[in-house]
């Protein structure tokens, strides 16, 4: 039990040591995908609202965000 607890703590400590520069705020549904699938016709206010919707934003590591690019959620899933 002690070893398991120690390993979990060490894993969490490693995650917490990430630099802020290693994190990105990502859109679950990429802006480019939204644009291609109807967002091009939205009013500027609607585009801004979609881009800043907290339900569509997640913090991810920058490498994962770069791998995803502007793929739609159906075509890309984060690593397990």
Query: What are the domain boundaries of the chain?
Result: 20-80
Give the pair of three-digit tokens for residue 1.
């039990």
Taking 50 as the threshold, does the pLDDT of residue 6 lie above it? Answer: no
Taking 70 as the threshold, does the pLDDT of residue 48 lie above it? Answer: yes
Q: pLDDT: is 41 or 58 the higher one?
A: 41
Torsional sign, CA 68, 56, 21, 10: negative
Tell me the pLDDT of the chain averaged across its residues.
Answer: 79
Torsional sign, CA 46, 52, 58, 59: positive
Taking 80 as the threshold, does the pLDDT of residue 80 lie above it? Answer: no
Q: Is the pTM of this model over 0.85?
A: no
Give the per-residue pLDDT at 24: 83
Contacts of residue 49, Cβ cutoff 8 Å, sequence gap at least 6: none
Work out the average pLDDT over 55-77.
Answer: 82
């Amino acid at each position: 039990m002690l070893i398991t607890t120690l390993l979990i703590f060490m894993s969490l400590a490693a995650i917490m040591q990430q630099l802020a520069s290693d994190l990105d705020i990502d859109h679950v549904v990429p802006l480019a995908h939204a644009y291609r699938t109807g967002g091009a016709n939205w009013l500027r206010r609607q585009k801004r609202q979609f881009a800043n919707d907290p339900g569509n934003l997640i913090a991810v590591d920058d490498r994962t965000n770069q791998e995803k690019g502007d793929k739609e959620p159906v075509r890309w899933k984060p690593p397990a």
